[in-house]
Amino acid sequence: MLNNDEIIVCINGCKQNSRDSQKKIYTSFYGFAMSVCFKYAGNKDDAVEIVKDGFLKLFVGLQNYEATTFQCGSFVYGMAKKNNDKYSHRQI
């Protein structure tokens, strides 16, 4: 898991489209996002799809956040939950 200083560096890197920074954020929070998505999706395939979609939205949306005040863990949880809710509605 990245510490706060590393997260700030990675977020600033993501804003500059650094693939290395995106990979560090992804690998650091993937397990957490999967656990949230799997809890709601109920199967691994759907959870993986939700996580991938969520991280894409995360990297695009980072342009709107200040790195020093950004709470990455909270954002990842909210993103995973919100994407899962949208995915659930598409399945109906």
| pLDDT for res 18 | 95
The matching CATH number, chosen from 1.20.120.920, 3.10.180.10, 1.10.3720.10, 1.10.1740.10, for 4-91 is 1.10.1740.10
Whole-number percent of the chain with pLDDT over 70: 86
Residue 52 reports pLDDT greater than 70: yes
Whether the full predicted model's pTM is greater than 0.85, yes or no, is no
CB atoms within 10 A of CB 41: 22
* pLDDT tens-digit map of 68-89: 666 767 777 777 777 766 666 5
| pLDDT for res 92 | 46
Domain ranges of the chain: 4-91
Q: Give the pLDDT mean for 55-65.
A: 84
CA distance 87 to 78: 14
**Cβ–Cβ under 8 Å, residues 13 and 54:** no
Helix (H/G/I), strand (E/B), else coil: 90: helix
- Which band of pLDDT confidence, cut at 50, 70 and 90, is reported for residue 13? very high
* pLDDT tens-digit map of 25-39: 999 989 988 988 888
Q: Give the pLDDT mean for 13-32.
A: 93
